[in-house]
Structure 1
Amino acid sequence: MYSLAERDRRWELARALMDAAGVDALIVYGEPSAVMSPDSYFTGGPPGALVLFPRYGGPLVLGDRPGPWIEDVRPARHAYGLADALKERRLTHARVGVLGLEPYAAEHGGSPLPYTLWATFLGLLPQTVFVPVWSQFVRSAMSQSSEEIAVLAECGRIGAVMADALRAAVRPGADPLEPYAAAMHAGQVRGADPEVRLSCGPGLGQELGPGLGQGLGRGAPLRDGDVVLAELNCRYRGRETHRTLTVPVGPPAPELAPALRAARASHRAGLRALRPGLLFGRVADAMRISLERSGGRSSRPLIRGLNPRGVCGGVEPGPRSPTVGYDLPVGPGMTFALHVTCDLGHGTVTYGDTVVIGSTGPRVIDRLAGYTR
């Protein structure tokens, strides 16, 4: 559990967000199954609440997942309950910021409001002005506190154990679900909420798809020459880390080495560029240019912000794949997942981990001993 000092810091951030957005309250919608549900950031509890956070007076929770920080809890997680709460706080003619309203937010991973709830709610408060504030929230919350850094260090440690368990389970004759189950088990028994996506195939791997273990059934046994691509997402106490890896089955194919060299070179370019004050978009450009110089390409973002999600970039620039958050200055305490997926024309490899920005540069998340902001 986070401390009351951490609660006060987050609540002050909420009030600063209201000032910046010119609103008198925040509505924060959360889903229990969301990757990163913003409601728990303000309640200190599990995701799945509907929170009203007014500028004046204490916040309140609608639903049955209150958390330890908010005492005003009401079993009315619906449009009518939310409308009554705004009327009670005299916000029917106010400007109200909403987390969960954006029509499109890259790497959102949060909780978009259900259409039926929101449409009904709008009909009950026709004079209220609602403003999407997800992007402002992301920028204000990305810099982690010392308590959050400590949680991230444990999250990174669990992610490293998951990766070791997956590698140990990759062998000729194994069912692809075995490394999936090994990584999931390693995370769950350590109190994390893990997510594992695998892609297996002959030669170099294929692009990561929905993944095994997600209702797709068993795959063909692994054979010498196959390659396993893995994406491991570890969520722990409201923070998350990502790791991607390429694991050959048996002796690696000759074409694996140049593809991995290109991926690692792009990763190093990102690490060199991740310095406080540099624009996020410049980091994404450095990674993309490095990959292109090696003759590689990627259809997925090479870097994305975490905790919370909201910025990403590194794909070939264009109207369908812009760098979201290009003008964000990199700052101490921010966390980024560097995930280089590289295709040199013979298949795909992936390589990456999560870093936190210190006063002089990035630190890999599972090597945080002596970290200073």
Structure 2
Amino acid sequence: MPPARTPFPRPTLHERDRRWAVVRELMDADDLSGVVAFGSTFDRTDVYLAGEAIPGGIVAIPRDGEPALLSGVGAVALLRSDDQGRRLADARWIADLRTGPPPLLIAEVLRTWRIGRGRVGVIGLGGASPFGGGIPHGAWEMITAATPDVEWVDITLSFARARLVKSPQEQELFRHAAEIGEHASRVFLDAARVGARESDVYAAVEAEITRRGGHSAGPGMILRSGNPAFGGPIEWGWAGGEPPILRPGDSIGAEIFACWAGLESQQQMHVQFGSDDVHRRLADAARAAYEAGVAATRPGVLFSDVYAAMHAEIVAADVWSRPPVVQTVSPGLYNSPMWVNAQGRADLDGYPIPGVVPADGDFELRAGMAFAFQPAALIGLRQVCIGGAVLVTAGGCEELNALATRSHIVEP
């Protein structure tokens, strides 16, 4: 692994071999002859296993032998022969790159490996959510039609759980992502001024992430402003229309997705233009929940122990919280409960408030796990959401961000 001070670190071939070994351990556990892995917008498993991002990437890994990288975009084969492609030749993880119709490629590679009649694992078919997965229904029908003798076994969740504990190299890459997020948070704070547009703030943050060689997780930063401002996506861009201009009394909040080499960190920035009693109450409650989460995070405790400590501060402040206060990242597999302390509140009278959405599951924290802390405190539809990236270490919790862990007041 390159030293942490390296400005543009890259996972090594040793890390590649470790990731492939994890896949092969899952093959042994389920008596599989191979695995075919698909990526999605939110979880680029193809990049994680291939070490490069190509359009429509699919990674096929046999129990023994070298993996293959497949794509339905023929032009990707030529990318290995231009100037950049030649310079990266020694860093490529997979030599066997094949292009063509993906269902036929999958069938071909399985026949080549003589596993076209065996049990083969698939990553990307499902997920923790009923809406998880990155394989279109029509594509899967064509794949199964092209491989009639294959018994497909979905190991998406098993693989995601295996990724929860980060290797030493991945921890350094995650720290690097969070460092980019810290720089992006500073740019957000500088750009968020009365008279600026939401689009000005958005562009400044994304430019900073890109300038430092990072990338955002799809579909991009979540950003919303107003008075009151609830958390959510932008109302312009794809839908068209004018990006709002920031005004005195407004707040602007963002969920920044600063990523490096496929490792996602999150920063929850919040700026209030002129403070008041309600803002101070919300900011204090969100900060108290964040601190409670940090204090509770250590190896051996349950995920539920962490979010219960954070929720206790929300309830004690008589505010409510809509998003998960903590979630796993890279992969985004587990979320804490949502819509906590929202039911039966006078400040939400007349709004369509659902019941508490339960957590996606529970598990024991281990050193090397990565999380996004994102406690939100709300009164009515006015929200303060803060938080940043954390790592579980042998000694407890390593906080990787500072600016995003408090609400900031900017005088108009």
| 1:320 to partner: Cα distance | 7.5
| 1:224 to partner: Cα distance | 1.0
| 1:146 to partner: Cα distance | 2.1
> How far apart in 2 are the matches of 1:199 and 1:154?
26
> How far apart in 2 are the matches of 1:175 and 1:300?
25
Q: Which residue identity is paired with 2:305?
A: R
279, 284, 300: which is aligned to 2:307? 284
| 1:210 to partner: Cα distance | 4.2
List aligned pairs for 1:51-130, cutoff 5 A: 51-63=59-71, 64=76, 68-102=92-126, 105=129, 112-130=134-152
**SS in structure 2 at match of 1:283:** helix
| 1:39 to partner: Cα distance | 1.1
Partner of residue 160, structure 1 = 182
| 1:254 to partner: Cα distance | 2.2
List aligned pairs for 1:1-373, cutoff 5 A: 1-31=10-40, 34-47=41-54, 48-63=56-71, 64=76, 68-102=92-126, 105=129, 112-194=134-216, 195-202=220-227, 204-210=228-234, 213=237, 215-249=239-273, 251-316=274-339, 321-326=357-362, 328-345=363-380, 347-366=382-401
| 1:54 to partner: Cα distance | 1.3
> How far apart in 2 are the matches of 1:295 and 1:18?
49
**SS in structure 2 at match of 1:245:** strand
Specify whether residues 27 and 15 from structure 1 end up closer, same or farther in structure 2 by C-alpha distance, changes over 3 A only.
Answer: same
Q: Which residue identity is paired with 2:211?
A: V
User: What is the TM-score normalised by the length of structure 2?
Assistant: 0.81
Aligned residue-pair number: 360
**SS in structure 1 at match of 2:117:** coil
**SS in structure 2 at match of 1:130:** strand
> How far apart in 1 are the matches of 2:356 and 2:149?
35
- Counterpart contact for 2:329–2:371, Cα < 8 Å: yes
Question: Alpha-carbon deviations, 1:314-336, whole Å to 9, x = none?
Answer: 3258997221131x211111100
User: Bigger CA drift: 97-106 or 210-219?
Assistant: 210-219
> How far apart in 1 are the matches of 2:261 and 2:223?
24
Partner of residue 407, structure 2 = none
Q: Which residue identity is paired with 1:116?
A: G
> How far apart in 2 are the matches of 1:57 and 1:319?
50
**SS in structure 2 at match of 1:255:** helix
Gaps of 5+ in 2: 1-9, 81-90, 341-353, 403-412
| 1:95 to partner: Cα distance | 1.8
> How far apart in 2 are the matches of 1:80 and 1:92?
12
Q: Which residue identity is paired with 2:26?
A: L
> How far apart in 2 are the matches of 1:259 and 1:293?
12
| 1:104 to partner: Cα distance | 5.5
* Sequence identity (%): 27
> How far apart in 2 are the matches of 1:28 and 1:116?
17
> How far apart in 1 are the matches of 2:129 and 2:206?
28
> How far apart in 1 are the matches of 2:160 and 2:100?
28
| 1:284 to partner: Cα distance | 2.4
| 1:193 to partner: Cα distance | 1.0
> How far apart in 2 are the matches of 1:235 and 1:117?
29
| 1:85 to partner: Cα distance | 1.5
| 1:273 to partner: Cα distance | 1.8
User: Bigger CA drift: 296-305 or 351-360?
Assistant: 296-305
> How far apart in 2 are the matches of 1:353 and 1:107?
26
> How far apart in 2 are the matches of 1:290 and 1:205?
22
- Counterpart contact for 1:276–1:331, Cα < 8 Å: yes
Specify whether residues 184 and 236 from structure 1 end up closer, same or farther in structure 2 by C-alpha distance, changes over 3 A only.
Answer: same
- Counterpart contact for 2:52–2:92, Cα < 8 Å: yes
Partner of residue 370, structure 1 = none
Gaps of 5+ in 1: 368-373
**SS in structure 1 at match of 2:377:** strand
| 1:107 to partner: Cα distance | 9.5
> How far apart in 2 are the matches of 1:28 and 1:82?
11
Q: Which residue identity is paired with 2:147?
A: L
> How far apart in 2 are the matches of 1:331 and 1:136?
17
- Counterpart contact for 2:165–2:367, Cα < 8 Å: yes
> How far apart in 2 are the matches of 1:341 and 1:77?
45
Q: Which residue identity is paired with 2:333?
A: G
Question: Alpha-carbon deviations, 1:266-310, whole Å to 9, x = none?
Answer: 212221221111122332233223322222222221111012221
Give RMSD over aligned pairs: 2.3
> How far apart in 1 are the matches of 2:297 and 2:278?
30
- Counterpart contact for 1:159–1:243, Cα < 8 Å: yes
Q: Which residue identity is paired with 2:358?
A: P
- Counterpart contact for 2:127–2:157, Cα < 8 Å: no
Specify whether residues 71 and 346 from structure 1 end up closer, same or farther in structure 2 by C-alpha distance, changes over 3 A only.
Answer: closer
**SS in structure 2 at match of 1:172:** coil
Partner of residue 371, structure 1 = none
